[in-house]
Amino acid sequence: MTPPTNVISSTVGDPTPPAEWARQACVWTAWPHHVDWGDALGEARAEVAALVAFLSRHQPVRVLVRQRDRSAAAAALGDTASLVTANYGDIWLRDTGPVFVGVGEARRARRFAWNGWGGKYVYSGDGAVGDDLAREAGVPIDRCDWVLEGGAIDSNGAGTLLTTRECLLNPNRNPHMTEADVEAALRRDLGARRVVWLDRGLRNDHTDGHVDTLARFVSPTTVACMTPADDDPNRDALAAVEAALGRAGFDVAHVPSPGAVRDDSGELLPASYVNFVIVNGAVAVPTYGVEADSAAVEAVAELFPDREVVGASARAILTGGGAFHCITRDQPA
CB of 294 closer than 8 Å to CB of 311: yes
| Cβ neighbours for 141, distance < 8 A, ≥ 6 positions apart | 3, 4, 5, 6, 98, 108, 109, 111, 131, 134, 135
Architecture of the domain made up of 5-332? 5-stranded Propeller (3.75)
For each of the chain's 333 residues, which pLDDT tens digit applies? Answer: 333 344 444 444 468 999 999 999 999 999 999 999 999 999 999 999 999 999 999 999 999 999 999 999 999 999 999 999 999 999 999 999 999 999 999 999 999 999 999 999 999 999 999 999 999 999 999 999 999 999 999 999 999 999 999 999 999 999 999 999 999 999 999 999 999 999 999 999 999 999 999 999 999 999 999 999 888 999 999 999 999 999 999 999 999 999 999 999 999 999 999 999 999 999 999 999 999 999 999 999 999 999 999 999 999 999 999 999 999 999 999
CA gap 275, 310 in Å, rounded: 13
Q: How do strand 82-85 and strand 61-65 relate by DSSP bridges? A: parallel
The reported pLDDT for the residue numbered 9 is 43
The reported pLDDT for the residue numbered 196 is 98
The reported pLDDT for the residue numbered 230 is 85
SS3 at position 194: strand
CB of 214 closer than 8 Å to CB of 164: yes
Length of the chain: 333
CA gap 245, 162 in Å, rounded: 10
Phi, psi at residue 326, to the nearest 5°? -65, -30
Q: Quick one: which of 4, 275, 314 has its CA closest to 151?
A: 275
Q: Which residues are annotated as catalytic?
A: 326
The reported pLDDT for the residue numbered 111 is 98
CA gap 75, 95 in Å, rounded: 27
CA gap 279, 150 in Å, rounded: 17
CA gap 10, 189 in Å, rounded: 6
CA 201 to chain CA centroid, nearest Å: 14
